[in-house]
Structure 1
């Protein structure tokens, strides 16, 4: 177990620059941190282990003991993301290894914002850690802008945007439950929802409705899932993302910002950014790329496995 603790200590020290920024980050990102097929995420004093392979699953008890000794978690949840046959599981078996089930719920700080998390609420506890650095930047750029947050999940981009001085930040998501969590995050940060800020429905349908209403925004965040289904209709990023990017571009005011991202493992960052820029430029000929990014420093080895990948680009029109 000593080797496990030493590896945890080394991995944690590599993330030291994040300690003044956030209470939530990834401590272990698989093999590059000495833990093949495993991730360890910190959400304040609550921790989550995910097994994406059986390399360390066979040593689960030793891994739990090492994490417990090193970090003394209030709660530690284990999620097995692969079936015994090797198939990816979107509804993984969950086990509370330290603490009680009710201890899985808490609040974490990220920059000037706070967010509710629940380690036992499906795969993700309510905050996508690999988007942190992009959320923080979009919040800094939000002052006096009208924002649109598509596939908004728990509205973390909008919380940062409103705290950063956004005039309004409209959230579109198909899940009423998820939007309710977004409202809870607004309340947690002392934000009063404005009229029209929460739209329950298909993000694609919202864009088409906004086009008909001639609604305009100064910043758009488009971070879709790789696949989604709503009212019998499918959304697949390979086929549908770039046409949606072009549609979204019609909603942007001159000088507006457009952040497009995806966790789809087959996307290449340079090609993704070129395609996104071309889609926006079909509407705004002066569009230019401000940056291309992948995951932050806590995702060591990003892009080398299917469970750790991100492509993101920021475009100005």
Structure 2
């Protein structure tokens, strides 16, 4: 690893960094061209050559790296990683003791003090997500910290980076006893089949835990449910266990059908009583309008960006149109669960998307509930973009 690199913070951003802003980006650094080797330690200085913070260089789609400490004398070594991970593990103590929920986030990037790194727990197994080649250079220190702090069956990893910032698909097993998959984890008493060794996704998004519980406990009973962009049908499992009459699951990915069947099956739900469609969600909206189908509960959780043969979808510009399509097939007094994980805008703008869609369709509505990240997804207060999840439960009047 190269020597420490000195970075000069642009004057307009100095105050932000001194207040705890953790992301190092090209916009905020005057001499970003000096960055060469990912994993290099960097020192940030203000215009008066006063030390601000210490971090590392690691390119990901968000920026050039992350601040790690404001103490110039704190070494970025094993002890550093151990102290941060230990604090995170201790903060999740109640999760470890919850027998009804056996999957949660142990370490949430910059929220726990190390941007570009997350660690999830799945019933005794740990999964590390590396978001840049830079943070991956510290792999040995992170693994050694888990060795000292945690009892585990096995450790797995996802390398979510390459030259294009994509996932690197190779063997995800790191150490321990290699497991048999799927493993069945619990979430508020519901079962989910999880694969830690099979591609970028594991089968369930842990940040939606509270939303699934709300669907099961408050919104699904006696409802006809449409789950769009359904992935493995996790929301539909919650709806079915909450007493839904039927769920319709729509996703373009071919493997979504077998994965959804599996999730229903591990919960003792007859998947043949559910409707599972492999098709473009936007084509399904047209089909539903043509057939005059209506639903009591519609779940929208699209990716931030998606492309099919006929459609390109971006939440930042296309969400209002998606809501308008949804309003058209939602029963009067029906419920829409609208979700996005796009970090580029906040809850206020997201509410604006919904308001625009309802006004343009001359439909009134009421927001019943809203959700952001659960407690195990700790957020840095100086970096609101880190609280990326926005979910609104809306009643169509």
Using the size of structure 2 for normalisation, the TM-score is 0.73
> Distance in 2 between the 1:187 and 1:204 partners?
28
Aligned to 2:198: 121
> Distance in 1 between the 2:234 and 2:202 partners?
12
Aligned to 1:278: 356
Between 1:183-192 and 1:299-308, the stretch displaced more is 299-308
Q: Secondary structure at the match of 1:39?
A: strand
- 2:358–2:364 Cα contact (<8 Å) kept: no
The change in CA–CA distance for 1:31 and 1:267 in structure 2 (over 3 A counts) is closer
Between structure 1 and structure 2, the one with the greater Rg is: 2
Between 1:88-97 and 1:238-247, the stretch displaced more is 88-97
Between 1:41-50 and 1:231-240, the stretch displaced more is 231-240
Matches within 5 A, 1:1-317: 1-19=78-96, 20=98, 21-54=100-133, 56-83=135-162, 87-99=164-176, 102-103=179-180, 105-140=182-217, 141-195=219-273, 197-283=275-361, 285-301=363-379, 304=383, 309-317=388-396
How far 1:34 sits from its partner (Å)? 2.9
After superposition, the C-alpha distances for 1:231-275 in whole angstroms (9 at most, x for unaligned) are 353222233221111111111112211111111221221111122
- 1:267–1:311 Cα contact (<8 Å) kept: no
Using the size of structure 1 for normalisation, the TM-score is 0.91
What are the ranges of 5 or more consecutive residues in structure 1 without an aligned counterpart? none
The change in CA–CA distance for 1:104 and 1:97 in structure 2 (over 3 A counts) is farther
What are the ranges of 5 or more consecutive residues in structure 2 without an aligned counterpart? 1-77
After superposition, the C-alpha distances for 1:6-44 in whole angstroms (9 at most, x for unaligned) are 433321232344443511111101133133321101111
After superposition, the C-alpha distances for 1:95-147 in whole angstroms (9 at most, x for unaligned) are 42113555464110011210111112222211101111111111112111111
Between 1:285-294 and 1:162-171, the stretch displaced more is 285-294
Root mean square deviation of aligned Cα? 2.3
The change in CA–CA distance for 1:90 and 1:230 in structure 2 (over 3 A counts) is same
Between 1:292-301 and 1:51-60, the stretch displaced more is 51-60
Q: Relative CO higher for 1 or 2, CA cutoff 8 Å, sep ≥ 6?
A: 1
> Distance in 1 between the 2:269 and 2:258 partners?
14
> Distance in 2 between the 1:279 and 1:258 partners?
13
